[in-house]
Structure 1
Amino acid sequence: MTGSFMSPVALAFGVLEITGSAVWLSAVTAAALIPMVATMLLGGGVADRYRRDTVLRLTSVGAGLTQTGVAVVLLTCQHPALLLPLSAVNGVFQGLTRPALRGILANLAVGRGLQQASSLLASAGNTARIAGPAVAGLLTASAGGGWAIAVDAVTFLLAAACFARMSLPARPPRAEDGPTMLGDLQEGWRYFRSHSWIWSVTLAFAVFNATNLGLWQILGPVIAAGTIGATGWGLVLSARGAGALLAGAALVKLTLMRRPMVPALSAMALATLPLFLLGAGAGVWWLAAASLLAGAAAEFFTVVWETVNNTHIPERLLSRVGAHDEFWSSMSSPAGQLSAPILAAAFGTTAVAVTGAAIAAAAMLLTAQVRALRRIDVNRHTG
């Protein structure tokens, strides 16, 4: 995760270094995101069908090798078109990784331990979220984005070594007349679409990712390059990690309210504040403060959502249902990323950023009114 949180800063400024073009940046970013999203549903089936620790070992090695290729391209100033296939393959490995990570928690903890484990894992990740962007900003400013990507490649290989020390029980043998992979995927889809409390949140995040996250990832570095610079941008991203770390650490000890989904979605509306301030031309310290608050709000939602999912979705379906959640919520991000330069050129960065933040906040607040979500109880397992 440390390397992964370095990667957005390093890749953004590395691409801008060799191209000076927001169009190339959006193309490279989308080249990784589109295959990741496209592979996610298959990844859910794989993670529910095979041992999740084995899946994570293999995908970590693959991601490390592809990031090594990206680093070589940036360090040797090759044509940016070479980044597209490397980013695409890396996206495939990420698409296979994320459902396995979503499902493995239920293999490691039970009961209230699910909330504690989710918070502990989030705290570890958020420690990396603080260090990664700051180191990437300093390393990019001093040595170039390629070196930060090289460090990212090493961290994937180290992660594979760590996953090698985890050993889950073998999956029970499948009957010869058991369901095929396609049958497994169809079962996951049926469960997902039949529970409005799941798909309504997924729909809200589809809007959020297009209008907030997608615009932030592209307009953020472009605006920062002419204002607060790579170091300032790294500080802003690290502040978000600090807020998430504080919230995650607190949630290890605190017990969630009985029905947490409405507060969690309402808090997510606050996570749009950094994009709003970015468009309004706020300085680095205002952006850092807003990112701190946004990180805490997003972390609260993440712990709530993971706890709710692991409490109410059967373990054998966790990765498949989680893959649908990630797939449908993430598939809108490329639209936001690819349209960001076009919209900014037509309407200006201020109007696009402020409007995107407002739409994303409205999506969260409206979804909080869904009746099924208001009744979700983390103390009662429904399967």
Structure 2
Amino acid sequence: MKLSDSWEALRDKDFRWFFIARTVSRTGSSMAPVALAFAVLEVEQKAVALGLVMAARTTATIVFLLVGGVVSDRFSRRVVLQVSHVLTALTQGAVAWLVITGNATVASIVAIEAINGAVTAFTMPAMQGLVPQLVPNRLLQQANALMSFAMQGTTVIGPALAGLIVAGPGAGWALAVDAMTYAIAVLALARVTIPPVARATTSMLHDLREGWSEFTSRQWLWVIVLAFGFLNAIHVGAWVVLGPFIATRHPDLLGERGWGLVLSAEAVGAVLMTVVLMRGQLRHPLRAGMLGVCLVVPALVMLGVAPSVWLLLPVAFAAGMGMEVFGTGWNVALMENVPQRALSRVASYDALGSFVAMPVGATVFGWLAAVADPRWLAVISGVAYLLISLAALAVPSVWRLGRRLPEPAERAAAPGV
């Protein structure tokens, strides 16, 4: 494949504008955690205040995820995204205005960010369902790799940009820039054309049951989501919670600066893998993805056995590559094998499993670290992670799932989408 062919999906006008919208809004999203954290701390210098804001946002997302899936399958996903982005711009803009004018309170930020979290529950399923409407099957992997490339890039740029603005004009202005990115994304999405939607006449409860039926009827799908309910909890607990804790306990070997380098190595591995995935094809996306997931195991074990920055850098780099293979492979598997009419609902069930697992993992591992040696916990977590990954990989439907035959170059939407 020629290097220019790696960008073939961007030659399509509709996907190109969607990609621009996604990249711009994602830049704002990557700025938000830094900007919001310092905005809250400007109002009240207490960690509990920040915890309340984050908890309100996450809880609202979880509560509305399934509703977001139904709405995204019933209506034009482009319109759902545009409305969601308008509401995100308004909510983040409101917090920015309150902080800049000195009228913000913790209660007001909690309330507004809860609305913002609820909006996110509509954004994610709509975005997942829109991609296969914009590109043919043969370009699904490339399109997902391109979006992941942009996401990883903004993850590096966004926090740094937010930090500069917070250190200069202030946290409120960083939130204002975040709001502006979503406004720009709305304009970019207006250039995207997709087939009209046939309005559903069934009840929301019926649609939820239908989405659940689509979810449970595919063994490979629910097996992976179930496995990642545990894997995500372990990853958040052992890597995100225990990692910094172990780093601070071993400043001579790792320390805060070393841990930052390790996370950067993980991100670089993911970015480089997206470039590889733009050019090659995963013939068995779940097989490759779950084998990639196993590359997280050496990073977790090394964190416990020898928490040295120089030993962790290569294994973190490999873990980033492996997780990127899974992320792209998983998206391709969903988009190729789940009917478009139900794709957003299925994606919402998938996201629900991930969102619930993360706070559970953080809470459980935070408690375990207080009663057990965190380094042993990291090693045990690595072993558990490997066993769960291999168990999922051993399921025949996961191992055997292959790519479907490519569609014609012209885009074809399923009825009712």
Q: Same fold (TM over 0.5)?
A: yes
Counterpart CA distance in 1 for 2:173 and 2:247 is: 20
CA deviation after TM superposition for structure 1 residue 135, in Å: 3.6
Q: Aligned ranges for residues 217-256 of structure 1 at < 5 Å?
A: 217-218=240-241, 236-256=262-282
- Secondary structure of the 2:205 match is helix
Q: CA deviation at 1:375?
A: 1.7
Kindly report which structure 2 residues correspond to 1:51-200, keeping only aligned pairs within 5 A, or say none: 51-71=76-96, 80-136=106-162, 148-174=174-200, 178-200=201-223
Determine the C-alpha separation between the residues in 1 that align with 2:223 and 2:308.
Answer: 35
Distance 1:236 1:150 in 2: 31
| 1:36 corresponds to which of 61, 65, 68 | 61
Specify the alignment match of 2:228 in structure 1.
Answer: 205
Residue type matched to 2:274 in 1?
A: G
Once residues 104 and 374 of structure 2 are traced to their aligned partners in structure 1, the CA distance between those partners, rounded to angstroms, is 30
- Listed one character per residue, the Cα deviations across residues 181-227 of structure 1 (whole Å, up to 9, x for unaligned) are 22122111011112111000001111122221256445566777896
- C-alpha distance in 2, partners of 1:70/1:221? 30
Tell me the amino acid that sits aligned with residue 227 of structure 2: A
What letter is aligned with 1:165? R
The alpha-carbon deviation at position 374 of structure 1 amounts to 1.3
Report which stretch shifted further, 146-155 or 225-234: 225-234
Match of residue 6 from structure 2: none
Q: Which amino acid is the alignment partner of residue 397 of structure 2?
A: A
1:129–1:238 Cα contact (<8 Å) kept: no
Q: Structure 2: how far apart are the matches of 1:230 and 1:334?
A: 23
> 1:159–1:346: structure 2 CA closer, same or farther, 3 Å change rule?
farther
User: Can you list the C-alpha shifts for 1:72-111, whole angstroms capped at 9, x where unaligned?
Assistant: 6777596545443333222111111110111111110112
1-structure distance, mates of 2:377, 2:103 = 32
310-319 vs 144-153, greater mean Cα deviation: 144-153
Of stretches 163-172 and 283-292 in structure 1, the one that deviates more from structure 2 is 283-292
**Conservation of the 8 A alpha-carbon contact between 2:246 and 2:375:** no
Distance in structure 2 (CA, Å) of the matches to 1:60 and 1:277: 41
For residues 372 and 334 of structure 1, the distance between their equivalents in structure 2, rounded to whole angstroms, comes to 30
Runs of at least 5 residues in structure 2 that lack an aligned partner in the other structure: 1-25, 407-413
Q: In structure 2, what is the equivalent of residue 306 of structure 1? A: 331
Higher CA-based Rg: 2
Instruction: Decide whether the 8 Å contact of 1:48 with 1:319 is kept in 2.
Output: yes
Q: Distance in 2 between the 1:89 and 1:279 partners?
A: 40
TM-score (norm 1): 0.83
How far off its partner does 1:66 sit?
A: 2.6
Shift of 1:150: 4.1
Return the letter of the residue paired with 2:152.
Answer: N
Q: Which runs of 5+ in 1 are unaligned?
A: none
State yes or no: 1:321 paired with 2:346.
yes
Letter matched to residue 180 of structure 1: S
Contact map agreement 2:227 2:388 (CA 8 A) in 1: yes
Are the aligned partners of 1:26 and 1:338 in contact in 2 as well (CA < 8 Å)? Answer: no
Instruction: Indicate how the Cα distance of structure 1 residues 250 and 224 shifts in structure 2: closer, same or farther if over 3 A, else same.
Output: same
Mapped partners of 2:297, 2:117: distance in 1 = 25
Pick which of 266-275 and 153-162 moved more.
Answer: 266-275
Percent identical among aligned pairs is: 36
Give the CA RMSD over aligned residues: 3.5
- CA distance in 1 between counterparts of 2:56 and 2:275 reads 34
Q: Are the aligned partners of 1:203 and 1:329 in contact in 2 as well (CA < 8 Å)?
A: no
Closer, same or farther in 2 for the Cα pair 1:307/1:366, shift >3 Å? same
Give the match's secondary structure for 2:137.
Answer: coil
Inter-CA distance 335–112: structure 2 relative to 1 (3 Å threshold): same
- 3-state DSSP class of the match of 1:332? helix
Residue 33 of structure 1 deviates from its aligned partner by 1.9
Per-residue CA deviations over 1:45-70 (Å, capped at 9, x if unaligned) read 11110000111111112223333445
Question: Deviation string for 1:208-261 (max 9, x for gaps)?
Answer: 22221256445566777896898876665444333222111211111213x232
Q: Contact 1:236–1:291 (CA<8 Å) still a contact in 2?
A: yes
How many residue pairs match? The answer is 377
* Structure 1 residues 63 and 272: CA distance shift in structure 2, 3 A: farther
CA drift of 1:34 comes to 2.1
Between the aligned partners of 1:374 and 1:348, the Cα distance in structure 2 is: 36
2:214–2:338 contact (8 Å) kept in structure 1:
no
1:262·1:369 contact (CA, 8 Å) conserved in 2? no
* Stretch of structure 1 that moved more, 73-82 or 183-192: 73-82
